[in-house]
Structure 1
């Protein structure tokens, strides 16, 4: 049984989410709260916290940060320390700072509220299994941020002394050498793994990849597991970031 806390500012939506989740035979809502502080208080008893971002008292990003760090939760009396719950951010907002803020705070997934009910239930189950979930609508935004951040770090690495044109040439040469080194250190992917890696970076689920490639979902799961192992990634979100930092997407 997956124990879920629902943190949602709007009462009607909060109740709808709670009923949807409770109707699933393998899930149970243990608390439904209207602010981030309430989510933090109840998090210790949960496996997954479904978190809104814009809430009173404490917003979802700060609440996520505290839950992931184990700050402020009320645990069960006298019991052994339980694993920290995972956070699925669910919001209507697509602003880059909110998406990246939630992921930087430690959220295991980010889903938009216009997703199908089945997608929400699937995301809760996947996060509970240790996967990451990133809504396809925001995946390009995350990849752009990673790419630009890497380029910015390269541009800033030569500041401080020397002539401008020389620094630019050295930085360009350094980035090219770094990119070649990163490429040279890539794991020995099979052609199918490279194909599936690209589709994962597009935000497709295992079922969607299976339909795209006309293969069984179990086959896709096997390849994704191999990709995670070869790259040392904890989940799909980590895998996407890994690929972006190496210029593969």
Structure 2
């Protein structure tokens, strides 16, 4: 059983999330919190496996919660919930240790899958917002020698795929642009991840950006 703490200052959002969690027998609601300070107290008290954490809250916001969880032995996996009107804020949340992020109006099946993925230690990157995050992460291009070295082994074809990935294109869009099957695109993306030492599109995009690709 995966225990989940729901943290949001809006009681209607908490009710909706509680109903979604109740749809899957593998998930159990550990508790709720309405602000960041209460969330930290509940985490220490309940030791949930996963926290669904609102970005904007009174008293202490989601970023503040993440920062204070860093280094704690009891820190759970955290999935940030957002309306996604502040790209930079979400990127800062990811850098502060969030397992990933989801839109608050994500499909229930997507929300349930995200909780399970976070519990497994996998990054949670909502398909509906990944492209936007990539664009935000790559908005200020720089060139870093370490990143340049990391992409040095990419083949010409992988670089073509990487440039489209960097532009926020989905696998299907990349396949259409490069006349590749979806399976071939996925294989190229996987090899790109391996060569640059990451496990998700956002991290890959940041490396590719810093490499000047």
> TM over 0.5, yes or no?
yes
- Are residue 69 (structure 1) and residue 81 (structure 2) matched? no
185 and 15 in structure 1: CA distance in 2 versus 1, 3 angstrom threshold = closer
User: Over aligned residue pairs, what C-alpha RMSD do you find?
Assistant: 3.6
What corresponds to 1:122 in structure 2? Answer: 113
- Specify the SS of the correspondent of 2:140: helix
Give unpaired runs (5+ residues) of structure 2: none
Q: Which runs of 4+ in 1 moved over 6 A?
A: none
229 and 192 in structure 1: CA distance in 2 versus 1, 3 angstrom threshold = closer
Aligned mates of 1:23, 1:42 — CA distance in 2: 23
Aligned mates of 2:66, 2:101 — CA distance in 1: 12
- Are residue 195 (structure 1) and residue 161 (structure 2) matched? yes
Aligned mates of 1:31, 1:184 — CA distance in 2: 43
Aligned mates of 1:240, 1:129 — CA distance in 2: 23
- Are residue 88 (structure 1) and residue 79 (structure 2) matched? yes
Higher relative contact order (CA 8 A, sep 6+): 2
Q: CA deviation at 1:112?
A: 1.7
Aligned mates of 2:133, 2:183 — CA distance in 1: 30
Residue-by-residue CA offset, 1:188-247 (whole Å, 9 max, x unaligned): 458479638845873748xx78x9765569x94x76554443322254432232222223
Q: CA deviation at 1:6?
A: 0.8
What corresponds to 1:170 in structure 2? Answer: none
Decide which structure has the larger Cα Rg and report it.
1
What corresponds to 2:26 in structure 1? Answer: 26
TM-score, reference length from structure 1: 0.65
Alignment of 1:8-47 (within 5 A): 8-43=8-43, 45-47=47-49
Equivalenced residues, count: 206
Residue-by-residue CA offset, 1:82-113 (whole Å, 9 max, x unaligned): 5x322111122412342233223221212222
Q: CA deviation at 1:114?
A: 2.9
Are the equivalent residues in 2 in contact too, given 1:68–1:86 (CA < 8 A)?
no
Give unpaired runs (5+ residues) of structure 1: 71-80, 151-174
- Are residue 242 (structure 1) and residue 201 (structure 2) matched? no
TM-score, reference length from structure 2: 0.74
